Amino acid sequence: EVQLVESGGGLVQAGGSLRLSCAGSGFTFEDYAIGWFRQAPGKEREGVSCISGNDGNNGNTYYTDSVKGRFTISSDNAKNTVSLQMNSLKPEDTAVYYCAARTGRAPLNGSNWYISFEYDHWGQGTQVTVSS
């Protein structure tokens, strides 16, 4: 059974940092793309970042424009973990953050990594709140 568990959310002041982690099990973690999404109250789920696996786009990373230069996605295949380092946080980053895995399908690319239905498995989410 594929499972994804997020951790690391919390309350932080604007300008601060948080590091989210997504721990996966039940699949060969390094072979597949892992994405981070977020959903703020009253808004649609938004793709934040993605790191591709050994599925054709080895280790490519993608970011939505609003987080470029502030967020960094990385993977630790030995620990089956993908992390999202979030620096210079802003109040508009406040949301529930989810990690998602795409398994058994064609590799993601720059034109579809941010689309939620391209992913097969989801974690339960972790709340990030940035105060002004």
Percent of the chain clearing pLDDT 70 (strictly above): 97
Q: Are strands 3-7 and 18-25 parallel, antiparallel or unpaired?
A: antiparallel
Residue-wise pLDDT for 10-26, tens only, equals: 999 999 999 999 999 98
| Better-predicted residue by pLDDT, 127 or 52 | 127
CA distances from 73 to 43, 122, 125 (A): 23, 17, 17
pLDDT given for residue 105 in this prediction: 77
By three-state DSSP, how is residue 33 classified?
A: strand
Cα angle vertex 92, ends 86, 96, to 5°? 70
Residue-wise pLDDT for 56-92, tens only, equals: 557 789 999 999 999 999 998 888 999 999 999 999 9
pLDDT band at 109 (very low <50, low <70, confident <90, very high): confident
Q: Which residue has the tokens 């990594």?
A: 113
Cα 1 from Cα 14, distance rounded (Å): 38
pLDDT band at 113 (very low <50, low <70, confident <90, very high): very high
